[in-house]
Copies of this chain bind each other. A is one copy, B any other.
Amino acid sequence: MIGTVHGVGVGPGSADLMSVRADRLVRGARHIAHFRKAGKPGQARRIVEGMLRADVVEFAMDYPVTTEIPLDDPRYASTLAGFYEGCAAHLRALALGGEDVVVLAEGDPFFYGSFMHLHSRLLPEVPVRIVPGITGMAAAWAASGVPITWGDDVLTVAPATLPEGELVRRIRDTDALVVMKIGQNLKKLQRAVAQAGRQAVLVEYAAMPEERVVPLDSVTSAPYFSIALIHGQGRRP
């Protein structure tokens, strides 16, 4: 009997924004795995605090690097590839030994995020099941109090890591916009939104206790958990 690896979306930040299916899997799991920055508790693990079995076996996967090496440095890819290989090997061994494993994924497991790098390494040898989750962006637009898309609006989801000119072009060319990965790219994003003649809000810590919604142009820094939104203005009878 081969076990199953479950890639489980635990939602944007609040434990009760996890799906009922995810809640059941997390509470029942003997083996839980989650990513975290070394030395930090990890957001996905924080969400499930208090929900785990008393005899749970946890496998914390500590990123060997986050922002210390530039993304375009070949050492970044090779370091991370080795890391994901090692994590996948551990999960594979558990599954081949007959154990099911729940891998926690913030938001949705197939929408950016790290679980996908395990998924591609586990298949086809190990069965993998995906539980979709509420994305951080859905929590962000709920927090903003304003719908993101109406009628025939086009929505663009873009990382703030794009070059400034590319950001300007995409902001001009969409009805609604979601921008992730803001961090060090905040000033560039602010300039791009202004140059495109649009207004954006910044949602910090959506669905978490520190949740805050502010005009994007009013801030001088953006926490890791922040998402910028431009709301669509489509058809509304």
Contacts and interface: CB of A to CB of B under 8 A. Distances in A.
A53 interface: no
Nearest to A174: B156
Nearest to A76: B237
Interface string A98-113: 0000000000111110
Interface stretch (A144-152, A191-199, A210-218): A144-152
A46 interface: no
Interface stretch (A13-21, A30-38, A54-62): A13-21
A131 interface: yes
Given A12-B132, A117-B237, A131-B142, A149 B112 contact: yes
Contact of A132 (B20, B109, B110, B134): B134
A20 B18 contact: yes
B20 A116 contact: no
Interface in A125-164: 130-135, 138-139, 141-142, 145-159, 161-162
A207 to B, nearest CB: 8
B78 A237 contact: yes
B148 A152 contact: no
Nearest to A169: B173
Contact of A138 (B110, B146, B207): B110
A207 B150 CA distance: 23
B18 A142 contact: no
Contacts of A152: 159, 161-162, 181
Interface string A7-48: 001011011111111011000000000000000000000000
Given A19-B20, A108-B138, 9 more contacts: A20-B23, A79-B237, A81-B237, A110-B149, A131-B142, A132-B207, A133-B138, A152-B181, A154-B170
19 contacts: A12-B132, A15-B20, A16-B19, A16-B20, A16-B21, A19-B20, A71-B151, A109-B142, A110-B146, A110-B148, A112-B149, A112-B150, A117-B236, A133-B134, A135-B135, A151-B159, A152-B181, A154-B159, A173-B173
